[in-house]
Copies of this chain bind each other. A is one copy, B any other.
Amino acid sequence: MKVKRAKPVSDELLKKMDKWWSAANYLAVGQLYLLDDPLLRRPLRKEDVKRKIVGHWGTVPGQNFIYTHLNRIIKQYDLDMIYLSGPGHGGNAMVAQDWLDGSYSEIYPDVSRDEEGMRRLFKQFSFPGGISSHVAPEVPGSINEGGELGYSLSHAFGAISDNPELIAACVVGDGEAETGPLAAAWHLNKFMDARTDGAVLPILHLNGFKIANPTVFSRITHEEVEEFFRGCGWTPLFVEGSDPMEMHRKMADTLDEAVYMIRTAWQREREQGITERPRWPMIVLRSPKGWTGPKEVDGKKVEGSFRAHQVPIPMTKDEHYAQLEAWMRSYRPEELFDENGAPVPELLELAPVGDRRMGANPHANGGKLLRALRLPDFRKYALDVPFPGSVEASDMTQLGGFVRDIFKLNKELRNFRVFGPDETMSNKLGSVFEEVGRDWNAEIYDDDEFLASDGRVMDSLLSEHCCEGMLEGYLLTGRHGFFNSYEAFIRIVDSMFSQHAKWLKVTKALPWREEIE
């Protein structure tokens, strides 16, 4: 059955989605600023506002925009999709979305989907005893921590490996896009197999600024951006502008096109047996930083400027309170939430249902899907050494046989991978190639050794960052694997590994995160 293009989304639906977006933005601003009176039932009072505002706004409306539109395609096409938030901060966006679709309150019943829950939702954000301002393990649906930047794409590629139905929508901030680990990861599309892996849908969020500087990708020509991504093997689709309704239309059409391209690529390989490397779609979303936020504060431009990055209104003058109130009321909360503070029914029906909600997708809570790895009896691989010095052999070679047999025993489960920067042979683990290939979906020559588009030894890219990142994404989605590298080079990912270890430590204290170890 040939994949068909969808009919354009109705204007009516786009208007409802715009309301969802407003609700999410309202909830994100509320998290940033408010202590009390979450529905603004009375004029804003100083004591309703947090004393110290710590958090970020700049990335939030763009991420809320993306999330709103992803929900639509999940529902329309019944997609199995997870969301990776690459930008360093903006945890309030993902938390707002989780609260709106109910996945947050299911996990944290005290933050209920009503006025009292909204009050708690607002207060806890970036507040002593509350939650962090970036996306952290506490956020339902996340497998990627904000903060140290650069790993979102590698995590996404790890997640979709051996998950043929999964799409990982990965928002890459244009700041993050300047880091080395992220820059290398654009090339990971050469290692995916359209038959046995899912798809990564990168969305470069070109909102123009990082902390105090513009971003490189926002200040080169449109042609250069397009050439760059084509050169990386993607088909870039552009969504550019600032008028909300025009942007909703563009984004909806573009996502329909992206879904069409992904499903066509899958179908060509899975049903027609065409093995040519697909040119997967990616999206460039150029929208104002701090979109829908205050245009100007203290006489200086904020929306569309680096000043929108963190706290757009600093709350240091009396007039700021009126400004904040006007900003929050501009989303018309009275039309978004009912008398009890719950989202109005018109919004509720937009959310995906059950595990299709990105905050509840089991892939982002890998322990739910974990199946124990079948291990051979390690005693079988012992070397017989009758007396000292009587046998010349290598422990790593023996280990290679053990690892090969792990692949053999878990062949049907396809839940085990080995990662490393082109060192499988030199680390003497070459026996694994008796059982599986190397991951590779670029051109293959006759003389190459062990390359295979469905290979599960990811040793074919010389990037410690990408290999470690893919391993993390693979593990956090409930599978097994390890990274091997020389002692001298493993330190390249020291800092990255520490962050992963921190993630694991924090998840241990979260009862709803199922064990992945």
Query: Which A residues have a C-beta under 8 Å from some C-beta of B?
Result: 147-150, 175-176, 178-187, 190, 210-216, 219-220, 224-233, 301, 305-306, 422-426, 438, 440, 442-445, 447-449, 451, 459-466, 488-489, 491-492, 494-496, 498
Contacts and interface: CB of A to CB of B under 8 A. Distances in A.
A462 B148 CA distance: 11
Given A178-B463, A211-B425, A463-B179, A491 B494 contact: yes
Contacts of A440: 213-214
From A214, A423, A466, A488, name the one whose CB has the most chain B CB atoms within 10 angstroms.
A214
Contacts of A466: 180
A154 to B, nearest CB: 9
B461 A178 contact: yes
From A228, A444, A449, A494, name the one whose CB has the most chain B CB atoms within 10 angstroms.
A228
A461 B168 CA distance: 27
A149 B423 CA distance: 14
A148 B485 CA distance: 12
Nearest to A424: B212
Contacts of A451: 213-214
- How many copies of this chain does one complex carry? 2
From A214, A231, A438, name the one whose CB has the most chain B CB atoms within 10 angstroms.
A231
A430 to B, nearest CB: 9
B183 A184 contact: yes
Contact of A178 (B148, B178, B187, B231): B187
A438 B214 CA distance: 11
Given A301-B447, A461-B178, A224 B231 contact: yes
B492 A495 contact: yes
B230 A448 contact: no
Ordered nearest first, which 4 A-B pairs have the shortest CB separation? A228-B231, A180-B180, A227-B231, A183-B183
A180 B231 CA distance: 16
Nearest to A188: B216
8 contacts: A178-B184, A180-B465, A180-B466, A183-B183, A211-B426, A227-B227, A227-B228, A228-B231
A449 B231 CA distance: 32
